[in-house]
Amino acid sequence: IAGITQAPTSQILAAGRRMTLRCTQDMRHNAMYWYRQDLGLGLRLIHYSNTAGTTGKGEVPDGYSVSRANTDDFPLTLASAVPSQTSVYFCASSAGTGYDTGELFFGEGSRLTVL
């Protein structure tokens, strides 16, 4: 069982380019999340989806978009990358919210550098 798979693991791209980070889970979890992690800061929520077909904005959504066409996939798109989006991005999932412990399962992360 793979759990959560993210791709790419690492990427360097030029400012202004479009980039999609992929995330797939095989646990049939309802909720999925995208976080960014920067040195000295806590994980910050970018976007989330409580169930397939729905998405919501997190703490730092600007410059990012997501879609949730099905239960398994939750891609994150940077329409026009900027250097401040240099970060480590983690995709996560949970069985649900509010009716269980809310334990998150994380992917291995995608390290993105925007030059």
Partner 1 sequence: GQNIDQPTEMTATEGAIVQINCTYQTSGFNGLFWYQQHAGEAPTFLSYNVLDGLEEKGRFSSFLSRSKGYSYLLLKELQMKDSASYLCAVMDSNYQLIWGAGTKLIIKP
- What is the spatial distance between Cα 61 and Cα 15, in angstroms, rounded to a whole number? 18
Q: Which of the stretches 11-19, 68-76, 78-86, 103-111 binds partner 1 when contact is defined by CB under 8 A?
A: 103-111
Binding status of residue 11 toward partner 1 by CB under 8 A: no
Binder to partner 1 among 18, 102, 113, 115 (CB under 8 A)?
A: 102
Q: Least distance (Å) from partner 1 to the CB of residue 40?
A: 6
CA distance 21 to 107: 12
Quick one: which segment of 19-27, 68-76, 79-87, 107-115 binds partner 1 (CB under 8 A)?
107-115
Interacting span for partner 1 (CB under 8 A) from 22-30, 41-49, 65-73, 78-86: 41-49
Told to check if 104 binds partner 1 by CB under 8 A, we report yes
Tokens of 37: 């992690």
Would you count residue 42 as binding partner 1 (CB under 8 A)?
A: yes
Using CB atoms within 10 Å of the CB of residue 85, give its burial: 0 to 12 exposed, 13 to 18 middle, 19+ buried.
buried
List of residues contacting partner 1 (CB under 8 A): 40-45, 58, 90, 97-98, 101-109
